[in-house]
Amino acid sequence: MKQFVIGKNDAGQRLDKFLTKAVPLLPQPLLYKYIRLKRIKLNRKRCEISTRLQEGDILELYINDEFFEAPPSEQAFFRAPSDITVVYEDENILLVNKPAGLIVHEDDKEAFDTLINRILKYLYEKKEYDPAQENSFVPALCNRIDRNTSGIVLAAKNAAALRVLNQKIKDRELKKKYLCVVHGQMPKKEETLTAYLRKDSDKNQVKVFDRPVPDGRTIKTAYRVLAKKGDLSLLQVDLLTGRTHQIRAHMAHIGHPLLGDSKYGKNRSDKDLGYRFQALCAYQVTFAFATDGEVLEYLNGRTFTLSEVDFAKKLFGYYI
């Protein structure tokens, strides 16, 4: 028999959702069968799949040991550095400045040194996260940016903050602004561009069109020129829609690819100049809640901005 005591970060979940995360080796058909047979009990009573768990509940599983994973001798995040640049932190959330070149989650090339693993290591060392004390929750990123893009990434430290942040991002109640360097001089000091974007998932690439196309989605990109130097321009960009590679592809489409962009830009010549990553940074985020921010309401109206961005400082002497 295995017993779970429902903690604060587990509360509010449906029973089946909790069990899927807490006992990942248990197949769903068996999960449902064991609930029907009362081999899974909540507070020593029969329970339903849709039962909402409450803090302090006791969940008992009378099932075979084979479905319980042995505790890993070493969590993956233990092998990551705890080197992060904190932009803002409180008991609920963490804003960090991700450097260009660091991936946010593991992929087939990198399993340990990722942004989320660095954050987990940081919180573990601060004694704010211990996997041995959690049944189903792990601190998580709420937004992601490309490996070769730098800037602010938001992480939730607890389940309540994660739920609110994910919903606010979905409802577009967090506003992000970007800095980028493009080739050439822009035709206007500021402008809002409209086009149509189609994604090729197999190539992880997008194409932009001036007119509607099948499977294309409308994109709107607002820019303002902040500085010029030779054949380069520093732009502030506001995404009025949020599509894959939108800034990079849209700017390339109008003839002003980002400096250092290996996918949509002048990759060979930029590399020769020493620019390995696209000059693109998510440098500002504003909490602009249109509805109740619940546990994060105290953040409503606040803006967090990076004090400087490397490529803007290096190329234009531009401080924010």
Range of the domain at 200: 178-282
Distance CA 242, CA 221 (A): 9
* DSSP summary character for residue 286: E
The 10s digit of each residue's pLDDT in 296-311 is 999 999 999 999 999 9
Task: Report residue 7 as tokens.
Answer: 């903690």
Q: What is the pTM of this model?
A: 0.87
Residues 108 and 28 in one domain: no
Q: Sign of the CA dihedral 48, 50, 52, 53?
A: positive
CATH of the domain at 242: 3.30.2350.10
Residues 260 and 237 in one domain: yes
Burial class of residue 139 in the structure, from the number of CB atoms within 10 Å of its CB (0-12 exposed, 13-18 middle, 19+ buried): buried
Domain boundary among 17, 38, 67: 67
**Per annotation, catalytic residue among 146, 202, 210, 215:** 146
Q: What is the pLDDT of residue 132?
A: 85
Residues 86 and 166 in one domain: yes
Q: What is the pLDDT of residue 5?
A: 94
Taking the chain, what is the end-to-end CA distance rounded to the nearest angstrom? 58
- Answer whether 97's CB lies under 8 Å from 85's CB: yes
Q: How many domains does the chain have?
A: 3
Q: What is the pLDDT of residue 266?
A: 78
**Residue ranges for the chain with pLDDT beneath 70:** 70-74, 108, 110
Question: Does any domain span residue 320?
Answer: no
- For residue 146, indicate whether it is catalytic: yes
Domain boundary among 170, 201, 235: 170
Residues 187 and 262 in one domain: yes
